[in-house]
Amino acid sequence: MARIATIETGFYRIPLPVTLSDSTHGEIAAFELITCRIRDADGAEGVGYTYTVGRNGGAVADILKREIPPLVEGREADDTEAIWHHVWWGLHYGGRGGPAVLALSALDIALWDLKAQRAGLPLFRLLGGYDSRVPCYAGGIDLDLSVEALLKQTDGNLAKGFRAIKMKVGRPDLKSDVTRVAAMRKHLGDGFPLMADANMKWTVEEAIRAARAFVPFDLTWLEEPIIPDDVAGHARIMLAGGVPIAAGENLRSLWEFKNYIVTGAVSYPEPDVTNCGGVSAFMKIARLAEAFNLPVTSHGAHDITVHLLAACPNRSYLEAHGFGLDTYIEHPLVLANGMALAPARPGHGISFDWKGLAKLVA
C-alpha cells in the first residue's frame, strides 16, 4: 500500500450545446464539473468527479480543496472504507448531505480508481465482476421539445445504438404529458423499454392521477414523481398508481435508500455515484436492493457507473446521462446492441483532457 500524498481539485463550468430544461430545475445552459485527483507516495494517480446542474459547484470544490485534505493526507490510500467514514464524520456536523457528500463522492471515486489501477484491474472486476455488458438507456432532457422534435431526438438516440429511452414529463397539463407519452409509445412500438421522468413535479394525488393515465403505455418506470423527502408519499403512489417507481438521484446516503426500500416506496432504487457517497456507498445501496429482490438502476456519470452496474447481479439499466463528458475524455462510453460495455482498462478508465478543461475553469 502507499499513503496519500496530494489532492488536487478542479472546478469547471461546461456549456451545453443546447440549453436544456425539466419540470423543476428550469433552464440549464451549463453544468459544473468538480474533479478530484489523488496521488499516492509512489506517484500513482486516481481521478474522481462530481457535478451540478449549474449552481453550488463552488461550495463542493471548496470542501474538496480546504476541508478534505487535512482529513486524508498521509492515510493509506487502499483503506477506502476507513477513509470514507473518517471524512463522513469529519464533515458530518456541517454537512450530512449537500455539497459535503458530493465532495466525499468525488474523493471516494478517485480512491477506488487508484486502488483498481494499483491492482491492474478494471474497476468492475475489483468490485467482484458480474457482466461487463450492461443494458443502457438514453436519458433525454426534453420537456419543452415539441412532439416532432422529441421523436426526432429519439430517432437520433436509436441511431446511436440505444435500445431503451427515457423522456421527461411534468408539463403544466397532464393531457399534454399523456399525448407525448402516447406519441413515444406509438413511435417506438409495443415492448420497447420506455421510461418517464417527472423531476419531482407533482403532489402525491397528482402523481397517482398521472401514473394511472400512463398505465396503457407500459412504462418501464415513472421516475421521481414527487419530492424525495416524502417517503410515505412514494409508497402511496406505488400502491395506487399502477406503475413502477424509480427514485434516488436526490438521496444522499445508504440510510436514505434504506428508508425507501424497507417501506416499499421504490421499485428501482436509483443512486448517483457522484452524490450518494461514491463507489463505497453506491455498492452498499445496490447490495441492499439485492437483498430486497429489487433491480438497481443509476443516475448520471455513466462512464463510472457502467463499472458499478457491471458488478451487480441485480442491475437493470444504466442511464447514459444528458451531461456527458464525451468532449473532454479520451474514451467515451461504448454501446453495442443496446448494451454499455465496461472498459477493460485499469481503474475506471476515464482519461480527462486537462488542457481542454483548463479553458473552462470556473
Q: Which residues are catalytic?
A: 168, 299
Burial class (CB in 10 A: 0-12, 13-18, 19+), 326: exposed
* Residue 107: DSSP 8-state: H
Closest CA to 285 of 313, 263, 256: 256
**Torsional sign, CA 103, 108, 114, 117:** negative
Which residue has cell 453506491? 282
Q: Where are the alpha helices (DSSP H) in 144-276?
A: 147-159, 174-188, 204-214, 231-241, 254-262
DSSP for 337-357 reads TTEEE---SSBT---B-HHHH
Q: Which amino acid is at 97?
A: G
Residues 6+ apart with CB under 8 A from 339: 133, 134, 135, 136
Q: Which residues pair with 20 in a beta bridge?
A: 28
Run of H or E including 283:
helix 278-291
Closest CA to 343 of 37, 84, 125, 75: 125
User: Rg (Cα) of the chain, in Å, rounded?
Assistant: 20
Q: Which residues pair with 35 in a beta bridge?
A: 10, 49
Burial class (CB in 10 A: 0-12, 13-18, 19+), 318: buried
Closest CA to 11 of 64, 67, 47: 64
Residue 307: helix, strand or coil by DSSP?
Answer: helix
